[in-house]
Amino acid sequence: MLEQLFEFPLEFGLEIPFLLVILVVLEAVLSADNAIALASIAQGLQLRR
With respect to residue 46, please indicate whether it lies within any of the assigned structural domains: yes
Query: What is residue 34's predicted lDDT score, i.e. its pLDDT?
Result: 92
Q: Which domain holds residue 30?
A: 19-49
- pTM of the prediction? 0.58
12 falls within a domain: no
What pLDDT was estimated at residue 13?
Answer: 80
CA gap 3, 7 in Å, rounded: 6
Q: How many domains does the chain contain in total?
A: 1
Query: Can you say whether residue 24 is alpha, beta or left, with left for phi > 0 and alpha for psi between -120 and 50 degrees?
Result: alpha
Residue 1 lies in a domain: no
Within-domain flag for 11: no
Q: Residue-wise pLDDT tens for the chain (49 aa)?
A: 666 666 666 666 888 889 999 999 999 999 999 999 999 998 887 776 6
For the chain, how far is it from start to end, CA to CA, in angstroms?
Answer: 66
Predicted local confidence at residue 49, as pLDDT: 61
Q: Write down the pLDDT at residue 44.
A: 84
